[in-house]
Amino acid sequence: MKKIQILGTGCAKCEKLAENTKQAADNLGLDYEMEKITELNQIMNFGVMTTPGLAVDGKVLVAGKVPSPAYIEKLIG
């Protein structure tokens, strides 16, 4: 099971990233758990200074932008 983490304070871009990521993971038929990390200290522990961020299994794949579901599929597939 993949652990997908959305790093962000809950802003509109963070919500859109979560939505796009869920769509991508569902399209791929992944077995995953999604977690939203909203605490700034925890986000900074990932080394992310610009939100939103996307991490899978603790590895940051995207920071500071909201990629399309198709692009996210390439990253997490």
For the segment 17-75, what is each residue's pLDDT rounded down to a tens digit?
Answer: 999 999 999 999 999 999 999 999 999 999 999 999 999 999 999 999 999 999 999 99
Query: Is residue 48 annotated as a catalytic residue, yes or no?
Result: no
54 contacts: CB under 8 Å, gap ≥ 6: 4, 5, 6, 7, 17, 21, 60, 61, 62, 63, 67, 72, 75
Question: Given this model, what pLDDT does residue 70 score?
Answer: 98
Question: Given this model, what pLDDT does residue 24 score?
Answer: 98
Question: Given this model, what pLDDT does residue 38 score?
Answer: 97
Query: Is residue 14 annotated as a catalytic residue, yes or no?
Result: yes
Which listed residue (4, 7, 14, 63) is catalytic? 14
pLDDT band at 7 (very low <50, low <70, confident <90, very high): very high
CATH 3.40.50.300 fits 2-76, yes or no: no
User: Hey, where are the domains in the chain?
Assistant: 2-76
Question: Given this model, what pLDDT does residue 52 score?
Answer: 97
Which listed residue (2, 11, 49, 70) is catalytic? 11
